[in-house]
Structures are given as structure tokens and as C-alpha cells.
Amino acid sequence: MLKIGILGVGAIGRVIATALDQQQLDAELVALADQDHARAECLSKELFGHPPVVSIDEMIERCELAVEAASQAALPEFVPKALAQGRDMLIMSVGGLLGREEWFRQAHERNCTIYVPSGAIAGLDGIKSASIGRIEFAQLTSRKPIAALQGSKYVVERGLQLDGFKEEAVIFEGTAEEAARAFPATSNVAASLRLAVDPAVPVRVRIVAVPGGSENVHEIRVHGEFGKLTMKVENVPSKSNPRTSQLAAFSAVATLKNLTRSLRVGT
């Protein structure tokens, strides 16, 4: 049985831990870690298996697959430590992987696998298949409620008064890499799309602030040798964190399930 440790017990980490605790997967939750030790202890007490709350180092040592559900800021410590122990990883803060090719090289050298769930979007299987041929155009438009954007790095640095917006407005246009830096907590969809296509293909991102909005809506358009793909997902935000879509947490559980199944569907 696959032994799993989780770093981060927020909205996504809690869903993954609960799924493991309820035996929805053929895997065992062996440890939790979080910078908020008390919050992790509370979750452990709620779970039937009462997994131990330990340091990052001990969590990685106990598990066979280490799940990161914390933040981009956690990756510079988490990833090198997991690689040093030869652990496979599932990364939720995908934006933190952009520009870190050295981690991918080290993972290859140490026979480690880094898993990236599809997160809050659909269509990545099709895009990966299309990438075998030539892709000419890839664009993501994300429409987000004001609550999902408040406090983000980009909004704070530019002094955007989102509460004063009366209608939809494009507040960001740029590359996926720029989006990951500008919105570290809400750019995982852009980062996943970036990783799914060839590095030579530019991925353009537009972020739209939606006053009165209640869903995180992502629309992807891709043109290439295969034809054209248009995909739209209207995500219900997590009840505990408006920046996180419920589908993102579900995708993490689905990815873990896929690792333990004899039948795997999809590219």
C-alpha cells in the first residue's frame, strides 16, 4: 500500500487527507506537516487514523509519495528535501515549478516522479496529445471573483481597489510565467497549461476581475496542427478558501487514485 505524506492542511490538503482516511484510495496517510502545527493537530484529531503531525523532514522520511498542498513559498524547501530522499511528489502549487528546470533534471537523475494534477481545469489530456504535433496558439482567460483576487501580490503592489469595480475588467495580460509570479496563490491553472505544451509555444494569460462573481471561470483556447480546442470550466470555490476551486482538490485525489489503479484512463 502506497504511503503518503501531506505538507499543508488547508482547503486542498484537508480534502486529500479525508479521502485517504476514508479509504477512498488504496493508500495510507502516514504523516501531516504544516507551518501551523496546531491546525494540523486539529485535523489529525478529526481523522479516524490520527496521522502524526511531524516536521517536513520527518514527513518526507516516513512516506513514499510526498504531497505538497501548502504554497509556492514552500517549494524551495520541500522539493530539494524530497529529491534528496528519492521521493516521488505531487505538487499543487504548480506555479512554483516554472523556471526550475534543475528540479526536473535532479528528479530524472534520482528516478523520482513529479506529478502535477490537472487542477481546476479540464482538457490537459487533449492538449498534451496535441503537443505531439505543432501548437501555434495557447491562451487562458480566467474570470475570478473579487474575493479570489483580494490580497494577491499583483493587486497589492499596484494598489488596485477591487471593491470599487462596478463591472468586469481585465486586470492582467501577460505570459504564464508572469502570471505565476504576479498571482502565486491563484495561477496554478496557467502554470499547468504552460507545462502541458512545448516550451517554445507562448502561453498567453488574461485575468478578469468580476464584481459580484461567485465562480472561478477558466477558458482555454488552443490552435495547432491537430485542429482547435476550446474548453471552459465554471468552478465552485472551496468553502474554506475562495482562491481554491473545489475541482482542484478533487483532481489531486483523482491523480492519487490513478497511481494505485491497474486501469488508467486518459493520456
Cα–Cα distance for residue pair 69/241, rounded to 1 Å: 13
- In the set 37, 50, 108, 218, the catalytic residue is 218
The grid coordinates listed for 189 are 491553472
The grid coordinates listed for 252 are 489531486
**Would residue 223 show up in a list of annotated catalytic residues for this protein?**
no
Distance of CA 67 to the CA centre of its chain: 11
| CB hemisphere CA count around 49 (13 angstroms) | 16
Q: In which residue are the cell numbers 488508467 written?
A: 264
The grid coordinates listed for 45 are 484529531
> Would you say the C-alpha torsion 186, 55, 61, 263 has a positive or negative sign?
negative
Q: What radius of gyration do the chain's Cα atoms show?
A: 18
- Element housing 208 (H / E): strand 203-210
Beta bridge partners of 175: 204
Cα–Cα distance for residue pair 137/181, rounded to 1 Å: 22
The grid coordinates listed for 215 are 465562480
Return the active site residues: 218
